[in-house]
Amino acid sequence: MGVVQAKRDYSLSGPENKRALESGLASAEWYASPIPRKRMKELMKRKNGPAIRDTVIWLALLVGSGLLAFQAWGTWLAIPAFLIYGILYASPGDSRWHECGHGTAFKTPWMNEVIYQFASFLVLRPATPWRWSHARHHTDTYIVGRDPEIAQPRPPVWRIILMEIMHLYAGPKDIKRMCLHAFGMIDKEEKEYIPKSEYRKTFWESRVYLLIFAAVVAACLYTQSILPAMFVVLPSFYGSILVLTFGLCQHLGLHEDVVDHRLNSRTIYMNPFFRFIYWNMNYHIEHHMFPMVPYHALPQLHAEMKGDCPKPCRSTWAAIREVVSALRKQGKDPAYTIVRELPVSAQPYRYKPIPVEGGNHYARAMD
């Protein structure tokens, strides 16, 4: 891996894509912590129980907070009530979209598919394109020119981060793509990872989404109120603060262009409520290294491999501080990267840190 000095092209069809393909970084074989096969089989085993329980609790919380918000409409109490409803709509929507997209949350495939489609609509992500986008994210995690889900380039664009507090960058982008799909067109970037055999499904899914949008608009016009949209569609904007918070903490500040998830992903110890709405994705190194381990088994997987990983961030707040600090440093020096020490029990990285003046550290591949 070379030291990053200049602004890079993060598009999937530019020179960085060619470079990643030529250097062997694309579709590479990644480091995996040594876990006995028997134990891995236990950890990968599918269950319906935990996901059914968690889905029932989630939907009950969503309906309950929605009723409270409805009662509070027209008063100042509506602000916190809708904030709670929006967070319970968007954040678990994001994590359920994610886990069910991996096909691991439930044992029964149709349950994963139903919740995946439902949650995709909640977070306004066209279901099929995002399934393929996320598959690429797992193939080429934070490989520049290959991964369509790199949250921020280097140097970071703070305007986009601020817009994403209300989902005002990615949300409109996805709605624009839905409109293209509805007319039988695919965005240029999407063509890089969606096979043609999936186009038809993509077009019909977006048409259904747009029909639902139209129904919500019609309901608003009929009732002469924005209230229907406050329950459907708008929560993915006004309730997205935790989606952003968790999303920023997954990889930012860490390495690009390395084939070891211990260097480019972040595991965080979170409180039980956050873990519930995030479905244990705080164990992000574990998830990326072994993506077929269901969310409910990630704490056990963490126990198996923590001796081979850098120390987790001790809290969500600690992770946010680490990320913001790194992004600020990358604003001045795009090559800045957090380097985390491994415990003595770990297999060493295939990369070595290079101390430089000012305390920044870069990593490059061992010769």
Chain residues that interact with other proteins, rule: CB under 8 A: 27, 29, 32, 37, 40-41, 44-46, 102-104, 109, 131-132, 135, 138-139, 195, 197-198, 290-292
Closest contact distance (angstroms) between CB of 121 and other proteins is 19
Closest contact distance (angstroms) between CB of 102 and other proteins is 6
The set of long-range contacts for 152-156, using a CB threshold of 8 Å and a minimum separation of 24, is 152/248, 152/252, 152/327, 153/7, 153/8, 153/10, 154/4, 154/7, 154/8, 154/256, 154/330, 154/334, 154/335, 155/7, 155/330, 155/331, 155/332, 155/334, 156/252, 156/327, 156/330, 156/331
| Cis omega (within 30 of 0) for bond into 155 | yes
Nearest to other proteins of 60, 292 (CB atom): 292
Nearest to other proteins of 27, 271 (CB atom): 27
Nearest to other proteins of 155, 291 (CB atom): 291
Q: How far apart are CA 103 and CA 14, in angstroms?
A: 31
Nearest to other proteins of 109, 184 (CB atom): 109
Closest contact distance (angstroms) between CB of 103 and other proteins is 4
Closest contact distance (angstroms) between CB of 139 and other proteins is 5
Nearest to other proteins of 55, 104 (CB atom): 104
Closest contact distance (angstroms) between CB of 68 and other proteins is 37
Give the type of residue at 31. Y
The alpha-helical segments, DSSP class H, found in the chain are 15-23, 37-44, 49-72, 78-102, 109-122, 127-139, 158-164, 170-182, 188-191, 199-223, 227-231, 235-238, 241-251, 261-264, 272-278, 284-289, 298-305, 316-332
Closest contact distance (angstroms) between CB of 248 and other proteins is 24
Nearest to other proteins of 148, 156 (CB atom): 148
Nearest to other proteins of 45, 314 (CB atom): 45
Residue with tokens 């029990």: 345
Closest contact distance (angstroms) between CB of 356 and other proteins is 35
Q: Which of 239, 361, 359, 254 lies closest to 313 in space, CA to CA?
A: 254
